[in-house]
């Protein structure tokens, strides 16, 4: 009895030791995990995903655009230019009236247009923020005003930014309105109107080359309609550019265009050419080129 009882007790002790070891083995991974975390604070949860910040527009105002245009070609743009111009105007009868004009620029701000034949002494002059009409070599009329195409296509690269922006505001462009779109498959910057608004005065700039390509403005003879003026077919001229074709569209129809040839940059031009009272006496560039 005593031997059997001792054997039973010994068996019970063995079973207890086995169970204790089994329990310890089962609990060991949990104890190790607790021990590992006991010496440090709980890990912070990952930060929530943030939406990508909206890209700031590259150009906020029209002045930003003018500054970029001016800076791109600073010291590279020609300051004098002459060319012969074939001018074609659509008449009411559907036929085209074609004339030849001779033009000279001295930048910024001076443009002389002689109508063919040059010897007749008829033409138009833009200088000193004024426009003059000359007939038979004599000043017929002078009025305040500039040529916005001269300003946007040429002066902007040679005049100060303040000079250009001041005159653009005077011309009625809202310099606070800027957006980007495409024109003829290329990205452009539009100054003067909100996107989709084609009934306000505005100018369009090729974003890549920062060249003037388009202007929308009320038609002079009927301000209820808009005319669409385009500089096309740009070609390099030294470190700068020239658009040898200018088009005017009205209600989706081409009504006027200019084609340039005999184009020369860096021509020596006398300042007297741009004085209306010296229209005839100044040495004309066409005569200088033939000598």
Instruction: Determine contact, residues 243/227, Cβ cutoff 8 Å.
Output: no
Q: Is residue 218 assigned to a domain? A: yes
Residue 34 lies in a domain: no
Give domain status of residue 79, yes or no.
Answer: yes
DSSP secondary structure letters along 37-64: HHTSPPPPPPPPPPPPPPPPPS--SHHH
pLDDT at 55: 57
What is the domain count for the chain? 1
Domain that holds residue 102: 62-286
Q: How many helices (H) and strands (E) are present in the chain, helices listed first? A: 5, 15
pLDDT (tens, 9 = 90+) of the chain, 291 residues, equals 444 444 444 444 544 444 444 444 444 333 333 333 444 444 555 555 555 555 556 899 999 999 999 999 999 999 999 999 999 999 999 999 999 999 999 999 999 999 999 999 999 999 999 999 999 999 999 999 999 999 999 999 999 999 999 999 999 999 999 999 999 999 999 999 999 999 999 999 999 999 999 999 999 888 899 999 999 999 999 899 999 999 999 999 999 999 999 999 999 999 999 999 999 999 999 986 655
Mean pLDDT, rounded, of the chain = 86
In a domain, 186, yes or no: yes
Question: Alpha-carbon distance 65 to 253, whole Å?
Answer: 29
Residues 6+ apart with CB under 8 A from 59: 65, 68, 178, 180, 189
Give me the CATH number covering residue 206.
Answer: 2.50.20.10
Instruction: Confirm whether 26 is domain-assigned.
Output: no
Question: For residue 166, is it within any domain?
Answer: yes
What is the pTM (predicted TM-score) of this model? 0.79
pLDDT at position 57 is: 61
Is there a domain that residue 264 lies in? yes
Residue 207 lies in a domain: yes
């Amino acid at each position: 009895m005593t031997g059997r009882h001792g054997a039973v007790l010994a068996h019970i002790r063995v079973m207890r030791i086995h169970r204790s070891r089994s329990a310890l083995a089962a609990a060991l991974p949990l104890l190790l995990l607790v021990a590992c975390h006991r010496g440090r604070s709980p890990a912070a949860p990952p930060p929530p995903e943030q939406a990508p910040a909206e890209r700031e527009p590259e150009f906020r105002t029209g002045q930003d655009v003018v500054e970029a245009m001016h800076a791109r070609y600073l010291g590279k743009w020609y300051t004098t230019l002459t060319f012969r111009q074939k001018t074609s105007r659509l008449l009411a009868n559907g036929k085209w009236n074609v004339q030849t004009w001779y033009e000279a620029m001295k930048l910024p701000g001076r443009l002389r247009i002689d109508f063919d034949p040059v010897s007749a002494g008829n033409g138009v002059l833009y200088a000193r923020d004024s426009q003059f009409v000359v007939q038979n070599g004599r000043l017929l009329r002078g009025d305040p005003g500039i040529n916005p195409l001269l300003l946007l296509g040429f002066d902007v690269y040679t005049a100060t930014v303040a000079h250009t922006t001041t005159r653009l505001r005077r011309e009625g462009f809202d310099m606070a309105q800027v957006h980007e779109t495409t024109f003829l498959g290329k990205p452009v910057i539009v100054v003067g109107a909100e996107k989709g608004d084609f009934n306000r005065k505005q100018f369009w700039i090729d974003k890549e080359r920062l060249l003037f390509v388009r202007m929308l403005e009320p038609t002079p003879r009927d301000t209820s309609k808009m005319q669409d003026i385009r500089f096309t077919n740009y070609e390099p001229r030294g470190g700068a550019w020239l658009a040898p074709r200018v088009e005017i569209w009205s209600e989706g129809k081409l009504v006027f265009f200019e084609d340039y040839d005999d184009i020369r940059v860096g021509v020596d031009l006398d300042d007297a050419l741009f004085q209306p009272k010296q229209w005839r006496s100044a040495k004309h560039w066409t005569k200088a080129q033939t000598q």
